Chains A and B, each alone.
Chain A
Amino acid sequence: MTPTPTKRALPSKESSLFRELLNLYETRQLKKGQKTADQILKKFPEHGETLCMKGLILTHMGKREEGLELVKKGVRLDLTSHIVWHVFGLIQKGEKNYEEALKSYIQALRFDKGVIARSPCAPSIWCERLDDDLLVCQITDAMSLNQENMNILRDAAHLQTQLRLYDGLVDTRFLLLKLRPNLRQNWIGLALAYHLNGNLVEARRVLEQYERSLKNVPEYDPEQSDLLLYHVRILEDMEEFTTALTLLDTKAKSRAIVDRVAQDSGAEAEQAWRTLIHCNPDNTGYYYSFFRSKNIELGAVTDPDRMSTLRLLQDLSLQNPHTNTPKRLELMVVSAEGFRPLANDYLWSGLQKGIPSLFVDMKSLYQDTRKRVIVEELVDGYRQSLEKNCLPDGAPNEIVAESDSDVPTTYLWTLYFLAQHFSHIGQHSRALSLLSSAITHTPTLPELHTLRGRILKRVGDFLGASVAVNEARLLDGQDRFLNTKSAKYKLRAGLIEEANDTFGLFTKKDAVSPGADLEEMQSLLYLTEEGDAHRRQGRLHYALKKYHAVRKIFEEFEDDQFDFHGYSLRKFTINIYLNLLSWEDRLWSHPAYIHCAISASQIYVELFDNPSRRKDVLSTGKELVFDNLDKTISRLSGMSAEEEKKAKKRAKKAQQKQEEQKKAAAAASAASAATTSTTNEDKGLDLTPQKDDDPDGIKLLTSPEPLDRAWKLLSPLLRLSISNLDLWFSVFDVAVRRGKYLQAIRALTRAKVLDANHPDLHVRLLHFRKLYESLPSSLPSPVAVVVSDALETLITREMTLETYNAQYLQQNHLNARAILGAAWGLQILGSPRDEIEGVVFGTLNPQVVLPLKTALDVLSFLKDISSPRANEFRLACEKIFDLSTVFKTPDQLAIMHLQRQGTLLNTPNVDD
């Protein structure tokens, strides 16, 4: 045995006290434990292990700072004790500092009096595989390892999984199995570790060895079943389909297994898929696989296969009369020539049944324009017949015979379908007029109002859209979907307060605010939409606050997996656990996170380029807060004194509530602080969330390193291959400003692969080359070579940037975004403003297709360069986009809004 350092050794009395202390901690008798520790420390105040144990106990009792202090002191006093390192690791794990915790665990194992400390290359087990010989000699010692060492190893394995250090994980799991081969989960743990590390062959060998060792497994054991499924999954991944099938046949009877394995073709697979279709005839995937087993790809059926495929689908339809799925697939497979009769049956029966999603269902067929035209002809034909109050000629016979009483609802759903159809193909005015007939016909169907909102949104009338969707909400106050939609449309329209009131109808009544509750509930929709709404209105600090709240949610998602590293092994839920791990690996690529990371980075870049923006936001910001659309509306509507009083009262009440809650929270924490000194209450080791000291995002706004913050938001996305141009533009914008030219040029290379001709890429290439040429040649040479080579392939050096820009404009002179890109290019090259304006106004050329969003971007570009012609452009857009309201001034908007609301209240006021 290693000689115990003298200052660690305790006399027998204290030594037994220390053992008692460990026991008390294990059984969470915190108060007693603390007393015992104090007893030892009275005589040996420098005893590191005791100090650490006391620190650990104090942390459990909620005195984190004091505890941490003691633990650190303990570690310093006894650097070679495994106990102090273990304790330190536990604390770090509680703070979710997984890297440091793992280091402490490794230290703990190094100094453990068991096997590892004695083996000459002990630390290397963390980075390379052990020799079998070495392990054989260790195994004898293993028996002497106590439970605590096992715990350290297991915890270390969890940390390694969390950190995705799979090489080390294999070693840890291997050691655990060697030490305790009688534990089933150690076998699975090792197989999983090999699997995660990409070594399927070893994973399979471990499983087979384990299965051989099993005796007397009860029938229908769910754990055993999942393990076998896992075994099959490995075989499948290794493409050993025959072995996999044999294993399945002999071991399992569950149908669920079939759907993964029927991948190899042949009659058996075909039969398996038939069975599955019969079980769930609405699963489209089963049909695809069924046909794949016959070497037919349903999404791309070729002419020679067409007739036979249709016949098979008809057979399946006859065998499963209660499903529409094969009929829908027929519509996809059939050629345009044979489409009409099939579509007629499908559409008429859908409209007669009143299937609200019929259009969404049909939409994907529109890729074939001929089919789209046929759908339009058919449904518009129905409309005309129904308006003459008779059934269409082509309507399937059995339906005609049934009854004529469905006519009004069929007519209604026909109008609804047509409105969606025409809006989808860009004929919004026609869609709106169909919709208004439908609303006159039946004003009580919420779908009509939400669709009206959606169409108004598409034409850029966000206020009108929010009024329409709110109409739908008022029809059914219980409908959470309508509530959320309505509130979201209000946010889009800039009515932030109204939106919060609407959200508030469904949030917890005792929450500080609807927003606080929605954040607690991790509502990504609310956070992103309200962040965007604030950003549009220039309240950048609130926007940043919301975007960072989204990041916090994703950090929580990432932390949440930790518990499953242990749990899933114990419970043998292996397959779903593997799915979880791969989901977590892709976690950050969630669209909501990408959106928030990009938006926040854009704000940070803006703040960096334009530091005075902070002052603007803050000084006018205060006024801005009270000058949003809500306020403009109330100002213009001449809010009566009474209403104003009410609003003030409400604000005061909210404030009071907030203060009360603060007080209550403070009282609670004081109370708990008071009680912890007397009770045993275990608060655990996890860091409790800290109080938010920046509720308005002012600190985020005024942060001295906006680019570092932006980079932190973007960096989780870099290792995932994400095909989002805006992401790579943001990465470039941040990297180039931080002087990270390699990262910058890489981002542009990624972007060029996605869309070589994109205007935003053009602008950045210009920007980068101009900047690079102006750099004093101070880049270290390897970087300089890489960057200039890459730059060379991205943007030719054969012409001047001015010529390059002019050429780009010439080649894309009918593309509005490209025109804007070229104008921006001119701005970068320092051209005079009137020249830039001349180019920008080219977007109004009637030959140029000008989408609404681009028009908005052009307008904000003109404002950015302080163009005196910005208003001229705005007025032109107001004419072009006559249905839209985005080019109106806030005052105009507010008046429109009030007028619209006014018309709603214009019915004569008579009592019964």
Chain B
Amino acid sequence: MTSSKKAEAVSSKVSFASLTQNNLGTVRKLNSVLFPIKYSEKFYSEILLPEVEDFCKLIYYNDIPVGTICCRIETKDSVNHLYLLTMGILAPYRSLGIGSYSMDVILQAATTHTKPKIGRIYLHVQVSNDGAKRFYERHGFRASGIDEGYYKKITPSGAWVLERNIEPLEGENNN
């Protein structure tokens, strides 16, 4: 199967849902099995904020929640950065193109987002996690450095910082 055909097949089976107080339980459940970290209540209240609705999603495959993607917006030097907090797909559903498709959807949303405009997207990947690093590089991310001691309770504690600039859509770049 060619990759474009595969993408097409995936997109017809994948759907997204915005996060609400009511489906937060599913996010918690996914996080508890996807990541070796227990997230704080602050994390769960931040991903419900209206401004990040386009960047925080539950990912459904054949109508079953199989993954999640969560971001927050940070403003540094009057530039808005999208920080990818978590992204994960349940093990049995990997290598089906769901993650790539979801990443594309988020990047697309970042490109078209206006209030506020997003200039850059970045994230941390544990240095031992080569697969994840390769995944992000395929999506245009570049490693900008290593954050030593980023993880406090898991080893290795170091993390790659991966980043990618967001190119605004042509024609809208009029300032």
Contact = CB atoms under 8 A, between A and B. Distances in A.
B92 A442 contact: yes
Contacts of A912: 37, 39-40, 43, 85-86
Interface stretch (B58-66, B103-111, B113-121): B58-66
A746 to B, nearest CB: 55
Contacts of B152: 910-911
Interface in A436-460: 441-445
Contacts of A411: 92
B30 A911 contact: no
B15 to A, nearest CB: 13
B55 to A, nearest CB: 16
A259 interface: no
A408 B93 contact: yes
B64 A910 contact: no
A354 interface: yes
Nearest to A478: B22
A443 B33 contact: yes
A76 B65 CA distance: 76
Given A405-B10, A406-B62, A442-B64, A910 B23 contact: no
A802 B39 CA distance: 70
A475 interface: yes
Interface in A383-436: 403, 405-406, 408-409, 411-412
Interface string A509-542: 0000000000000000000000000000000000
A412 B62 CA distance: 11
A475 B65 CA distance: 10
B25 A475 contact: yes
Given A405-B9, A908-B37, A477 B25 contact: yes
Interface string A472-514: 0111111000000000000000000000000000000000000
A396 to B, nearest CB: 19
Given A405-B9, A405-B10, A475-B29, A441 B39 contact: no
Contacts of A473: 25
Given A445-B64, A912-B37, A907 B32 contact: yes
Contacts of A442: 64, 66, 90, 92
Nearest to B43: A912
Contacts of A405: 6, 9-10, 13, 96
B40 A354 contact: no
**Interface size range of chain B in the complex:** 35 or more
A826 B28 CA distance: 58
Nearest to A904: B32
Interface in A272-290: none
B157 to A, nearest CB: 11
A476 B63 CA distance: 14
Interface in A867-912: 907-912
Contacts of A408: 61, 92-93, 96
A369 B10 CA distance: 40
Interface residues of A, number: 25
Interface in B137-164: 151-154
Nearest to A410: B62
B18 interface: no
B36 interface: yes
Given A405-B13, A444-B30, A354 B62 contact: yes
A477 B153 contact: no
B39 A911 contact: yes
B30 A907 contact: no
B25 to A, nearest CB: 4
Contacts of A908: 36-38, 153
Contacts of B6: 405
Contacts of A445: 64-65
A273 to B, nearest CB: 35
Contacts of A409: 61-62, 64
A409 to B, nearest CB: 4
A448 to B, nearest CB: 10
B2 interface: no
B149 to A, nearest CB: 13
Contacts of B23: 475-478
B21 interface: yes
A824 B9 CA distance: 68
Given A405-B10, A477-B22, A444 B64 contact: yes
B26 A476 contact: yes
28 contacts: A405-B13, A408-B61, A409-B62, A409-B64, A441-B90, A443-B32, A444-B26, A444-B29, A444-B66, A445-B64, A445-B65, A473-B25, A474-B25, A474-B28, A474-B29, A475-B25, A475-B26, A477-B25, A908-B37, A908-B38, A908-B153, A909-B38, A910-B36, A910-B37, A911-B37, A911-B152, A912-B40, A912-B43
Given A441-B90, A476-B23, A478-B20, 13 more contacts: A408-B92, A444-B30, A444-B66, A473-B25, A476-B22, A478-B23, A908-B36, A908-B153, A909-B38, A909-B153, A910-B154, A911-B40, A912-B40
Interface of A: 354, 403, 405-406, 408-409, 411-412, 441-445, 473-478, 907-912
Interchain residue pairs A-B with the least CB separation, the first 7: A477-B22, A474-B25, A478-B22, A910-B153, A444-B65, A408-B92, A409-B62
